[in-house]
């Protein structure tokens, strides 16, 4: 029995943040009823048709859920949502600012009607403050939170290549729901959870913000190099790049002796500790790439391995699809979609006693009749 089996979640969600949260719950056994608008449904359904007509984002985020189409602007649709919430444990929503309140399902209203319900809002900036009503999407939050200021090359900024603000807020919502379930187990009362995408990313921005607060300057963009630790990143060899990390002074000594074959550098005051190496990074990185210039990636990787230093390949997306670690750990499985079977990675919860639920990706409104029939039969 999966840990969340018997838990009923109503998800009034779209795009990434809300669906990512509720998909973690369905993977762990919850019954997630996904409420979608008539016609187009979740806007992520229309992002692309990468998987035989099914959107890549939608397939990733919505397996195992039950899709119910409701016109929430109609009295019948609103009444049906009311009935769904009456039998639910968790209500997750990430519509535009103020939309849930205008529909009549804000926290104060819902708490009065359903005192055990856990009410979860995911928004761009939170439900108060002067930014509360701003529309927000992932790249915009990356910009507002300063992530883009730290990402990219020295010459040009870049966004993170995945939906990091959506994923961060979805994960905080998921973990907060688990905490709220524990609280309800003690008190019998539901909980108001308010997750802000902006706050999720600014929490992750604390090291560079502390650098600014403590030293008067923030780290800059460093491309495929770390902007606060040196050496850490991708360095040029004779036939391409190798990526590695030196995390402490013991590793620095090993790196100088066994990789660069320059033990004398450990006595160089310019590189005595990470703060000095960061201040003199240009000189140090010139030394490193001069030493690597006549060595292949395989030769450098072998030296790094011998020295006990962490390293990695700079993989393409195809390299990741074909990655031996995913194959050897049997991480790939299959799920069903309206367009047929697609591959899917097992979620990283990795509970030892129970495999996750890898349910079907639903067609729009596929479960409307089924769920409505359940409501009719409910006491």
Cα–Cα distance between 293 and 248 in angstroms, integer? 25
Q: What percent of the residues of the chain are helix, what percent strand, and what percent coil, each to the nearest 5?
A: 45, 15, 40
Cα–Cα distance between 10 and 323 in angstroms, integer? 36
Sign of CA dihedral 268, 272, 274, 278: negative
Of 9, 18, 30, 12, residue with least CA distance to 359: 30
21: tokens are: 């949260």
Catalytic residues: 226
Residue partners of 304: CB distance under 8 A and separation at least 6: 242, 244, 259, 310, 311
Q: Tell me the three state secondary structure of residue 245.
A: strand
- Number of neighbours of residue 102 by Cβ within 10 angstroms: 12
Q: How many CA atoms lie within 13 A of 272 on its CB side?
A: 3
For residue 243, how far is the Cα from the chain centroid? 23
Q: What are the residues facing 332 on neighbouring strands?
A: 345
- Number of neighbours of residue 218 by Cβ within 10 angstroms: 17
Q: Tell me the three state secondary structure of residue 80.
A: helix
| Dihedral angle, C-alpha 123, 103, 110, 18, nearest 10 ° | -30
Cα angle 254-259-262, degrees, rounded to a multiple of 5:
80
């Amino acid at each position: 029995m999966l840990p969340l089996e018997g838990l009923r979640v109503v998800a009034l969600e779209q795009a990434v943040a809300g669906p990512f949260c509720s998909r973690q719950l369905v993977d762990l056994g919850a019954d997630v009823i996904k409420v979608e608008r008539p016609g187009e449904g979740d806007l992520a359904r229309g992002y692309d048709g990468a998987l035989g007509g099914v959107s890549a984002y939608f397939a990733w985020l919505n397996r195992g859920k039950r899709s119910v189409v409701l016109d929430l602007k109609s009295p019948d649709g609103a009444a049906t949502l009311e009935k769904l919430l009456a039998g639910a444990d968790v209500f997750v929503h990430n519509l535009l600012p103020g939309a849930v309140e205008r529909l009549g399902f804000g926290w104060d209203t819902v708490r009065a009607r359903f005192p055990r319900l856990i009410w979860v809002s995911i928004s761009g900036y939170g439900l108060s403050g002067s930014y509360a009503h701003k529309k927000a999407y992932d790249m915009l939050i990356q910009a507002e939170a300063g992530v883009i200021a730290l990402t990219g090359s020295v010459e040009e900024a870049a966004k993170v290549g995945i939906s990091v603000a959506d994923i961060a807020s979805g994960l905080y919502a998921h973990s907060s729901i688990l905490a709220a379930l524990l609280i309800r187990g003690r008190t019998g009362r539901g909980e108001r959870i308010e997750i802000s995408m902006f706050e999720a990313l600014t929490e992750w921005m604390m090291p560079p913000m502390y650098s600014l607060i403590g030293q008067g300057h923030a780290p800059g963009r460093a491309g495929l190099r770390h902007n606060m630790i040196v050496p850490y990143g991708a360095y040029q060899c004779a036939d391409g790049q190798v990526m590695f990390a030196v995390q402490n002074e013991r590793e620095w000594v090993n790196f100088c002796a066994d990789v660069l074959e320059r033990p004398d550098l450990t006595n160089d005051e310019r590189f005595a500790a990470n703060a000095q190496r960061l201040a003199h990074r240009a000189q140090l990185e010139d030394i490193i790439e001069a030493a690597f210039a006549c060595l292949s990636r395989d030769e450098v990787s072998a030296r790094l391995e011998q020295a006990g230093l962490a390293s990695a390949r700079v993989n393409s997306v195809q390299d990741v699809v074909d990655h031996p670690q995913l194959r050897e750990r049997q991480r790939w499985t299959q799920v069903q979609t309206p367009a047929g079977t697609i591959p899917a990675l097992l979620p990283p919860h990795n509970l030892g006693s129970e495999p996750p639920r890898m349910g079907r990706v639903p067609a729009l409104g596929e479960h409307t009749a089924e769920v409505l029939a359940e409501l009719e039969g409910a006491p």
